[in-house]
Amino acid sequence: MSNSESRRTEGRHGGLPVQGSDSAPNQNGGLPLLRRLAYLATGLAFAQIVFGAIVRITGSGMGCGDHWPTCQGYLFPPLERPDLIVEVTHRYIAATVTIAIIALLITAFMRRAQRGVGGRGGVFRSAMLATGLVLTAAVFGGITVKLSLNPYVIVTHLAIAMTLLAVLSIAVLRAGGWGFDRTEVASPQTYRAARAGVMLAFIVLVMGALTANVLGANASCQGFPWCTGIAVTGTPLYIQVTHRVLAFLLFFHMIGVAVLAQRRHEPRQVRVAAWAALGAIVLQIVVAAGMVEMHLPPVWRSLHQAMGTLVWLSIFTLAALAKYSLAGRSGEEATPRAAVAAA
Ligand code: HEM
């Protein structure tokens, strides 16, 4: 019997045979619907974050000025005003994300009596937190415009948006998504390493956002992998160099996480998530190399931001999968598949 098999049978519920019931996920109609809504909200939130950077990178942030809900009097600006179209699209995606999250909240509320939906560790609580975060992000979006794109407000706005994406990823997991299989048990070592990856990734993101928003920081250090040319010194340079150094640290850390997860025969969902996160980081570093070598073309800046968001989502989802696969997790009945199995 292999390592993961022994961990599989022993680790949970005193070896309760859950195999059979897990294979009937649709017995309980609620979670597949919640899972679809959570995936939809996550996808839309991802698009909103990427579009938010496109608004800033194209300088369209002030396009609509204080006009709301119309933009310079238009609901759909004319094609000859791409700046207004970019800003309005960002607003409409924001509205769609909010509607999707509220739909998730209402559906979870209506099914809160179901296992895996109400209570601690249930989908409803993630949906409530996501609703609070999307409204906070919207308010911060308004403050960003009012304070004429102050870099520290923009970075706070991005941090709130990334937290929202993380909470939605948990909602997907609690609704049985991301290929979660509760019969497999992960080791605490892998969970701790993934959790350290989440903290490091969050700092890399914040330093990246500062590099993109503090004047002169993005052009301060030129060349790859280290600065072959210095255009600006002082704080802007320190910000970008810190971003780069921490990014490479994250890269090496995640190599360790993926290789050790493989060696420890961790659950398949955890191994796949670890290699996917590492793959996203490698792609991100390739994009970063192209971006700085070509002196920050807008399309590559946007691609770098989008890949950065994907790195965050993949590392956070890895840590969540590892956490939910830990043996003897309390509140077991609140985990997604357990709820389906028990229903
Ligand atoms: C794991 C690896 C990395 C992640 C997750 C990451 C993430 C980010 C993020 C989220 C931003 C902010 C983008 C925005 O708000 O528009 C950013 C900006 C930036 N990053 Fe990275 N980054 C990584 C690696 C690197 C590397 C290796 C370099 C340089 C060699 C680099 C150079 C930059 C620069 C110059 C900016 C400013 C771009 C702009 O002005 O739009 N990054 N990064």
Q: What whole-number distance in Å separates Cα of residue 109 and Cα of residue 124?
A: 6
Same domain (yes/no): 195, 173: no
Ligand 1 center to 292 CA (angstroms)? 10
> Which of these three, 153, 183, 213, is where a domain ends?
183
Same domain (yes/no): 120, 188: no
pTM: predicted TM-score of the whole model, two decimal places: 0.87
DSSP 103: H
Phi/psi for 230 (5° steps) reads: -115, 115
Partners of 130 in beta bridges: none
DSSP 221: E
Residue 148 pLDDT: 65
Phi/psi for 264 (5° steps) reads: -85, 5
pLDDT one-digit tens code per residue, 57-112: 888 776 676 666 678 777 788 888 888 888 888 889 999 999 999 999 999 999 99
Same domain (yes/no): 237, 157: no
Residue 67 pLDDT: 66
Same domain (yes/no): 1, 150: yes
> Which of these three, 183, 199, 227, is where a domain ends?
183
Look at ligand 1, atom 18, and give the residue with the nearest C-alpha: 208
Residue 329 pLDDT: 55
Same domain (yes/no): 192, 310: yes
Query: Which pairs from 9-18 meet CB under 8 Å and 24+ separation?
Result: 10/185, 10/327, 11/185, 11/327, 11/328, 12/182, 12/183, 12/185, 12/327, 12/328, 12/332, 13/332, 18/182, 18/183, 18/337, 18/338, 18/341
- pLDDT more than 70, % of the chain: 83
Q: Taking residues 235-254, what's their average pLDDT?
A: 98
pLDDT one-digit tens code per residue, 13-46: 444 444 444 444 444 455 899 999 999 999 999 9
pLDDT at 47 > cutoff 90: yes
pLDDT one-digit tens code per residue, 106-135: 999 999 999 889 998 999 999 999 999 999
Residue 76 pLDDT: 82
Q: What whole-number distance in Å separates Cα of residue 152 and Cα of residue 286?
A: 27
- 287 CB-side CA count, 13 A: 20
Same domain (yes/no): 195, 92: no
Question: What CA–CA distances, in Å, run from 219 to 204, 228, 230, 261, 305?
Answer: 17, 12, 8, 38, 16
Work out how many domains the chain is built from and give that number. Answer: 2
Q: Which residues of 147-179 are buried (b: 16+ CB within 10 A; e: fewer)?
A: eebebebbbbbbbbbbbbbbbbbbbbbbbbbbe
pLDDT one-digit tens code per residue, 217-229: 999 999 999 999 9
SS3 230: strand
Same domain (yes/no): 227, 113: no
Residues contacting ligand 1 via CB (< 6 Å): 53, 204-205, 208-209, 211-212, 218, 224-225, 240, 243-244, 247, 250, 281, 284-285, 288, 292, 296, 301, 304-305, 308, 311
DSSP 111: T
List the domain range (segments joined by +) for residue 131: 1-183
pLDDT one-digit tens code per residue, 181-210: 777 888 999 999 999 999 999 999 999 999
pLDDT one-digit tens code per residue, 272-286: 999 999 999 999 999
Mutate to test the pocket of ligand 1, among 154, 162, 206, 304 (most ligand atoms within 8 A of CB): 304
Same domain (yes/no): 196, 318: yes
Look at ligand 1, atom 37, and give the residue with the nearest C-alpha: 212
pLDDT one-digit tens code per residue, 268-319: 999 999 999 999 999 999 999 999 999 999 999 999 999 999 999 999 999 9
Q: Enumerate the H helices of 177-297 as residue ranges.
A: 188-213, 217-220, 235-263, 268-293
Same domain (yes/no): 200, 337: yes
